[in-house]
Structure 1
Amino acid sequence: MLRWTDFLDVEAVRLSLEARERVGVVHELAGLMSARARVSPKELAAHLLAREQLGSTAMVGGVAVPHCRLAGVSRIVTCVGVHSQGVDFGEADGGRVHVFVGMVSPPDTAGLHLNVLARIGALLRNARLREALLTAPSPSALRALLVCVEDAHVNHRSEVALAR
């Protein structure tokens, strides 16, 4: 069963993003993913920003998911960054974004790329989870929380499917 957290290493979690604007945040996210994606942070940031030019990846609830597909990347790589003050990121409801999930995928994984994005969106619609992410005491605690919530989500969906 597909799990977003399979693509999220604890080293790619940052509890205190520092940038105060959209471009800077994207560069920080690219820096969190570049080594595992085996691509330069500058190149990755350029692709993430190009995707943002097509339309903001911000969602209602203070979440944004900058993502792209990039040649040379061998597997999906994700990261999570938290910004305590929030950043104007073009959020759908006009608020500030506090939780950022970056993602880069190989070009030939369009279906998997979309499935991981859908899982991220489904989990982060939960307001209690978003609040808990903002107060996580460590990167490992944040990742563990996401694993726990995702496991519950996957198990619930499996039970619903079996009941049909």
Structure 2
Amino acid sequence: MKLQDILTLNCTSCAVPAASKKRILEKICQIAASEVGNADPGDLLDSLLDREKMGSTGIGNGIAIPHGRLTHTNKAVAVLLTTEEAIDFDAIDNRDVDIFISLFVPEDRCKEHLDTLQSIAKLFSDKQTLKQVRKCSNDKQLYDLVQQAS
């Protein structure tokens, strides 16, 4: 499964104000919960925080891919946010993060989860794509950029 298959415009947000790792994760969970419908933002946050305890999902170059599991649904959800200012996210390269691609998948779809994480990492490893993402000034522009990416 590719990011383009599960990302919606409702789950894409450009230039989000966030001052900390916890605040950006809370924002991601609010957006994801409204997309899923029956998910509790607190449960989603717990899922992300549990994953972060194993090691930061900040993969470097100002990018983080926080991810977690969903219960009581078979729908995968992706959330893409950029922040107004880069924030400390304990990334592996010690750089602050300004691009967040978050993924929530049903508990029983582990293989798809790994494939989707791999496709996200590949998409955002392209320097030109990163430059374009950082230039986006509105949600629609950011969403369209990802949808058009190969």
TM-score scaled by length of structure 1: 0.86
- State the Cα deviation string for residues 80-123 of structure 1 (Å, max 9, x = none): 01013101101111111010011111011000011110000000
Aligned-partner residue type, residue 89 of structure 1: F
Moved over 6 A (4+): none
Could you tell me how far 1:3 is from its partner in structure 2? Answer: 2.4
Larger Rg: 1
Separation in 2, partners of 1:131, 1:46: 32
Separation in 1, partners of 2:132, 2:8: 19
- Contact in 1 for aligned 2:76/2:106 (Cα 8 Å): yes
Separation in 1, partners of 2:33, 2:74: 12
- Contact in 2 for aligned 1:61/1:127 (Cα 8 Å): no
Aligned-partner residue type, residue 83 of structure 1: T
Could you tell me how far 1:141 is from its partner in structure 2? Answer: 1.4
Q: Which has the higher contact order (CA 8 A, sep 6+)?
A: 2
Match of 1:159 in 2: none
Give SS of 1:78's match: strand
Separation in 2, partners of 1:129, 1:110: 27
**Structure 1 residue 49 corresponds to structure 2 residue 33:** no
Aligned-partner residue type, residue 136 of structure 1: C
Aligned-partner residue type, residue 9 of structure 1: T
Which protein has the bigger strand share? 2
Aligned-partner residue type, residue 76 of structure 2: I
% of aligned pairs identical? 22
- Contact in 2 for aligned 1:12/1:80 (Cα 8 Å): yes
**Structure 1 residue 141 corresponds to structure 2 residue 125:** no
Separation in 1, partners of 2:16, 2:40: 19
Match of 2:6 in 1: 7
Separation in 2, partners of 1:114, 1:104: 11
Aligned-partner residue type, residue 13 of structure 2: R
Separation in 1, partners of 2:10, 2:127: 25
Match of 1:118 in 2: 118
Give SS of 2:17's match: coil
Alignment of 1:79-94 (within 5 A): 79-94=79-94
Could you tell me how far 1:134 is from its partner in structure 2? Answer: 1.5
TM-score scaled by length of structure 2: 0.94
Aligned-partner residue type, residue 52 of structure 2: E
Could you tell me how far 1:125 is from its partner in structure 2? Answer: 0.7
Give SS of 1:137's match: coil
Separation in 1, partners of 2:46, 2:20: 15
